[in-house]
């Protein structure tokens, strides 16, 4: 009897573990960083642009700052061949994806590619539906390191099944490929995708605007502030290996420098994947300063891997904290309004216990040194309250360091 019970128990365990997707666990211990073609180039990509971007990622220092993934988005595809294998668009990518991947790898970068769980991508190219294992095999053969998997034309497909299927296909193909799920948050992937993918979009597409919504019949795209608001309540679901993705950055795509700084800062406070979306071949000095600020990037890449939280709002100023490894905190004041504002920081008002990180700010017993990460100046410590000016649609960002 006991023997049969044990056998039955083992059988059940096998069933359960084969149902659980097996993503490559060692990837994305910190939020992925890189560049993606969509926000700036949409469907107008080709191998010359991508090679140029690869060169610039190295020359500009972006790669060494951590931006290692170079991701093709929609519209790289040609047709499927007679056996159903996907090929590259022969006009845009005449040398093929394998040659491009080799070039990108020779620069010390990694290459990302894009597909869709439906029959067609959002740009009308062949999707992976019915070809999941073939596509994953082809990506592995080409040397792909990252797959963004979109959700257009999926009609009544079940998202859990569809993403699980592609995750399994990647696993079976044998190459560690970071799996970026782009399902726009419809089925709350943060509640089910931890073992399926390494990151999941939490919202519809970002729109290149600081504070507005771009409305169309049937769909909307969201400005930076709108996307920020939609992250509320999601921080407990993210952590090393599985990240909330509030979409790719619009920094350097035409917003004002203060807005770009606020956008980049808030994505770092959210421990968001930092995927640039500008034309890095022609980057202004201001954009460079923002996206290559090592101390700000370090907040995003902090190994504790806990998202920041909003602890107070007062007259359009939001107060955010992010716990960091080793006991430090990131502290950010975000001014959402179009006028400069003064804000008085009373540190003792911000004593709180964070349920996600199980850490406390403990301003009663701890004095933190204050370093301003944008001005790069030290501003004393938290033993005294202080008044600061927060410029319109901008941030004041501090690292509060313990024991110094």
Residue of 123, 143, 239, 391 interacting with ligand GLA (CB under 6 A): 123
Q: If binding is defined by CB under 6 A, does position 245 make contact with ligand GLA?
A: no
Residue span binding ligand GLA (CB under 6 A) among the ranges 26-34, 62-70, 117-125, 302-310? 117-125
Q: Please, what is the minimum distance in Å from the beta carbon of residue 225 to ligand GLA? A: 19
Residue span binding ligand GLA (CB under 6 A) among the ranges 81-89, 120-128, 164-172, 386-394? 120-128
Residue span binding ligand GLA (CB under 6 A) among the ranges 118-126, 207-215, 257-265, 291-299? 118-126
Rounded-to-integer distance, Cα 45 and Cα 51, Å: 11
Per-residue binding letters, 154-193, with ligand GLA (x by CB under 6 A): ----------------------------x-----------
Q: Per CB under 6 A, which of residues 345..374 are in contact with ligand GLA?
A: none
Q: Residue 402: CB partners within 8 Å, gap ≥ 6? A: 326, 327, 328, 366, 368
Rounded-to-integer distance, Cα 244 and Cα 200, Å: 6
Q: Residue 74: CB partners within 8 Å, gap ≥ 6? A: 38, 42, 43, 114, 121, 122, 123, 125, 150
Q: Which is nearer to ligand GLA, 53 or 182 (CB)?
A: 182
Residue of 35, 38, 237, 321 interacting with ligand GLA (CB under 6 A): 38
- Tell me how many residues contact ligand GLA (CB under 6 A): 9
Residue of 132, 135, 205, 279 interacting with ligand GLA (CB under 6 A): 205
Of 285, 357, 292, residue with least CA distance to 321: 357
Residue nearest to ligand GLA (CB): 122
Of 63, 183, 30, residue with least CA distance to 115: 183
Q: Which is nearer to ligand GLA, 88 or 319 (CB)?
A: 88
Q: Residue 46: CB partners within 8 Å, gap ≥ 6? A: 91, 92, 93
- Confirm whether 279 is a catalytic residue: no
Rounded-to-integer distance, Cα 161 and Cα 177, Å: 19
- Confirm whether 205 is a catalytic residue: yes
Element containing residue 332 per DSSP (H, E): strand 329-335
Q: Which is nearer to ligand GLA, 31 or 323 (CB)?
A: 31
Residue span binding ligand GLA (CB under 6 A) among the ranges 119-127, 233-241, 309-317, 381-389? 119-127
Q: Please, what is the minimum distance in Å from the beta carbon of residue 65 to ligand GLA? A: 23
Q: Which is nearer to ligand GLA, 36 or 382 (CB)?
A: 36
Give how far Cα 257 sits from Cα of 151, 268, 283, 285, 290, Å.
33, 16, 13, 11, 9
H runs (alpha helix) in 316-360: none
Rounded-to-integer distance, Cα 151 and Cα 270, Å: 24
H runs (alpha helix) in 234-385: 257-269, 285-291, 294-300
Q: Please, what is the minimum distance in Å from the beta carbon of residue 197 to ligand GLA? A: 15
Q: Residue 285: CB partners within 8 Å, gap ≥ 6? A: none
Q: Which is nearer to ligand GLA, 135 or 205 (CB)?
A: 205
Q: If binding is defined by CB under 6 A, does position 73 make contact with ligand GLA?
A: yes
Q: Please, what is the minimum distance in Å from the beta carbon of residue 46 to ligand GLA? A: 16
Pairing of strands 33-36, 69-71: parallel
Element containing residue 399 per DSSP (H, E): strand 394-401
- Give the active site residue among 74, 116, 135, 150: 150
Rounded-to-integer distance, Cα 227 and Cα 262, Å: 13
- Give the active site residue among 135, 205, 328, 354: 205
Per-residue binding letters, 129-148, with ligand GLA (x by CB under 6 A): --------------------
Q: Are 245 and 234 in contact (CB under 8 A)?
A: no
Residue of 132, 135, 145, 150 interacting with ligand GLA (CB under 6 A): 150
Pairing of strands 274-276, 369-372: unpaired
Report, as residue numbers or ranges, the catalytic residues: 150, 205
Give the binding site for ligand GLA (CB under 6 A).
38, 73-74, 121-123, 150, 182, 205
């Amino acid at each position: 009897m006991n023997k049969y019970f044990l056998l039955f128990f083992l059988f059940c365990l096998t069933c359960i573990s084969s149902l659980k997707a097996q993503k490559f666990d060692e990837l994305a211990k910190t939020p992925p960083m890189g560049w993606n073609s969509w926000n700036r180039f949409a469907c107008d990509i080709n191998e010359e642009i991508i090679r140029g971007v690869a060169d610039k990622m190295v020359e500009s220092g972006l790669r060494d700052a951590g931006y290692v993934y170079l991701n093709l988005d929609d519209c790289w595809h040609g047709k499927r061949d007679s056996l159903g294998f996907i090929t590259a668009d022969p006009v845009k990518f005449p040398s093929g994806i394998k040659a491009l991947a080799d070039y990108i790898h020779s620069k010390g970068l990694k290459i990302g590619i894009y597909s869709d769980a439906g029959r067609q991508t959002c740009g009308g190219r062949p999707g992976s539906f019915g070809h999941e294992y073939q596509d994953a095999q082809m990506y592995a053969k080409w040397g792909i390191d990252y797959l963004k998997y979109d959700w257009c034309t999926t009609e009544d497909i079940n998202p859990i099944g569809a993403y699980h299927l592609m995750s399994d296909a990647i696993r079976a193909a044998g190459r560690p490929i970071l799996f970026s799920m782009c399902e726009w948050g419809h089925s709350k992937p943060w509640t089910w995708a931890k073992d399926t993918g390494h990151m999941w979009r939490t919202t519809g597409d970002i729109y290149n605007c600081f504070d507005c919504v771009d409305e169309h019949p049937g769909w909307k795209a969201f400005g930076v502030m709108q996307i920020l608001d939609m992250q509320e309540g999601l921080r407990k679901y993210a952590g090393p290996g599985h990240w909330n993705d509030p979409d790719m950055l619009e920094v350097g795509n035409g917003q004002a420098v203060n807005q770009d700084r606020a956008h980049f800062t808030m994505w770092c406070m959210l421990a968001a994947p930092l995927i640039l979306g500008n034309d890095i071949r022609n980057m202004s000095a201001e954009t460079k300063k923002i996206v290559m600020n090592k101390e700000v990037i370090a907040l995003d890449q902090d190994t504790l891997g806990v998202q920041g939280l909003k602890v107070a709002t007062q007259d359009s100023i939001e107060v955010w904290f992010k716990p960091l490894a080793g006991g430090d905190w990131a502290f950010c004041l975000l001014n959402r309004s179009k006028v400069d504002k003064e804000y008085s920081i009373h540190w003792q008002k911000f004593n709180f216990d964070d349920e996600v990180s199980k850490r406390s700010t403990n301003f009663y017993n701890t004095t933190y040194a204050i370093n301003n990460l944008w001005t790069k100046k030290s501003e004393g410590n938290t033993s005294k309250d202080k008044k600061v000016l927060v410029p319109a649609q901008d941030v004041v960002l501090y690292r509060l360091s313990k024991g110094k």
